[in-house]
A and B are shown apart, each in its own frame.
Chain A
Amino acid sequence: MNIIVCIKQVPETSEVRIDPETKGLVREGVPAIINPFDENAIEAGVQLVEEHGGKVTVLTMGPPQAESALREALAMGADEAVLVTDRALALSDTLGTSYALSCAIQRIGGYDLVVCGKQTFEGDTAQVPPGIAEHLGIPQITYVIDLEIEGNKVRGRRLLEGYYEVVEARMPVVISVVKQMNEPRRPGLKNVLAAKKKEIQVWDAAECDIEVCHCGLDGSPTRVIRTWTPTREQEGEIIEGEPAEAAEELAEKLAAEKLV
């Protein structure tokens, strides 16, 4: 099986810094990790290849430093890595990003599955995997917690609100996975060192046939015009007293709010 896993490098810190002009994320100098949901995607790809043979190619679009995320993915067991990096792609919204990634995926070619994490820790939109599927003209199965391959078909068990749904489609298919799908492996030192030596393909927009007019700040249909840090309107109330007293007072307040 040939599996392409799309990943994104996101800032590690929970304190994010926004560029006041572009309203985008400040990425330079901020420690970075693979988006946690994407680790599950890598793990899913590696497990499928361990079972069915084939290879995992991990793909990311980002600034040059995103290469370190690819190295982590290689250490986890991905076979090949591609970095698409180009100033013209920076600040793309989800539509621009899914378009650019689909171009890179077509350049890689020969894939059975494209596996993505459900959403990122930044935009939290979950819009890129369906966008990639639409641009490639193939089916999508989202919220996947379990994957099975049967011949030329894939079955994804989806974790929805209060039930599961098992969906089947003929490959190639785009899959987005949830955290509960698996436990991403922590690579040992040997794998990390071996990953350092692997070659990473680096492509710019032109090499992927990406028309940059559809990307970047200007090419993206959505634009962030304002960001702010939400502040609490009022301080919460600390209820003092011995446990029995405090509990009683709390119960009273909750009853007053009709919550009890």
Chain B
Amino acid sequence: MSMATATAQPVERENYLNKHYGVGSWLFTTDHKRIALLYLISITFFFFIGGFFALLIRLELLTPASDLVQADTYNKLFTMHGMVMVFFFLIPSIPAVLGNFLVPMMIGAKDLAFPRINLLSWYLYIIGGVMMLHCMLTGGVDTGWTFYTPFSTAFTNTKIVEAGLAIFVAGFSSILTGLNFVVTIHRMRAPGMTWSRLPLFIWAHYATSIIQILGTPVIAITIVLVAVERTLHLGIFDPKLGGDPLLFQHLFWFYSHPAVYIMILPSMGVVTEIIACFSRKRIFGYSFVAFSSIAIAVFGFLVWAHHMFVAGISVYAALVFSLLSYAVAVPSAVKVFNWTATLYKGSIHYDAPMLYAFGFIGLFTMGGLTGLFLAALGIDVHVTDTYFVVAHFHYIMVGGALMGYLGGMHFWWPKISGRLYPESWARLAALIVFLGFNLTFFPQFVLGYLGMPRRYADYSHMPEFQVLNVLSTAGATVLGVGYLLPMLYFLWSMRYGKPAPDNPWNAAGLEWKTPSPPTTFNFEEEPVVTWEAYNYEELDAPHKEEVPVVR
């Protein structure tokens, strides 16, 4: 393999970053790695917008009275926070950035199957994003990110249709990404890269793509119905005109519950790669981890109505959905147990990506277990629409998905940028994120259990909740620092960081057999895979030869 030996040259060799220069070379690129960077910049922008809304929400809740903003403004703040974070940050985050960059490289392909469709998906994302920005700057939406009918279609006078269309367009970007991944994984694998040799990151993205392909169109048509009903005053969901608002909730959650798995599954894939690398072991129970991803994707489509236990669905339906929601916990637990079993007797390295992976396991487990509380009919009635729910899904979506994203960004940053980030700063940031996160969201579990409802600007009749809210706001500040740090030292490293070797972690996986940063077509010649995934025992075996590959 020529690319394994072509390391250590002093001058910068040609790679995907320096091959072409100029704005046009970026805006019209079809290179999956450049599109990944376009996505990285765009979603980071939206992350900080969503974060800004979160900051205002937390500041308002610092005191019981609604003194910083009025209730109407507060409604808009949490709505826009949710819409931006869900549709413009979390859903594209790992698939569109790390997935775009790594899926072709991990399976030994030169690019995704449809490079131009890949670029189109980024443009759709940007069009949707610009529409969302315009909507926010000209008044925003106040319904909550769920835009429940008939409030959204018959009552609110905010910009539902524009926000809906923004999400509609961004949704097609998500569908096209998923479509590209499925075709690429089926058709573009290098010789010898069988399904059982695929990195589990790929399995996770395959499962994610299935949800993107089959779930997203349902919310697309739901948005069309909402927009038409609102514009023409029809009665599809409006009970006053004979429609059924529950139908809206069913259609909405049919996508929006699986959407949570769009956020968490890729993160699980990232964590699997990191755990194997930094405990220097083959992942425990490869096929169980692989198929648990598929099982989560499949079960994930069958549990949506657990968001509607108090909405008036039949008690028998609720029982079935409760049981099915418990069933999702099984493949999720399989993953957690397999990760911990991989750690057992591994030679564990506490590098920054591994710290994020540890954080992920702990926080995801907390989020998952509290999800079981909410799947239980009795407890759900008690804590519905309280901060308990808010804390639960932030443990999954921020503690889980975002920790995985940051872990992955650190793990593959040397490959993406060709530079090393400052390790001690990175460990410090990981610690700050973990502490800040728990300080922000753990008090919210308590708040919710004590009965503080979500989506209220004013809790002055319950002043005893202030202490926990102050803790939460303080935690959010710490968390904000934790998120700013990586952005700063990543930017710093692009200029001042040490050049990264091709495989700084001595990790398994085809992507590490390319130069750092890779060349435009990734591989000089088509790789032929003859080894299993995560062959760390072979990699760490006392020096045999240059490349520890049995050919």
To the question of whether A and B form a pair in one complex, the answer is no
Which B positions have Cβ atoms within 8 angstroms of A?
A: none
Which A positions have Cβ atoms within 8 angstroms of B?
A: none
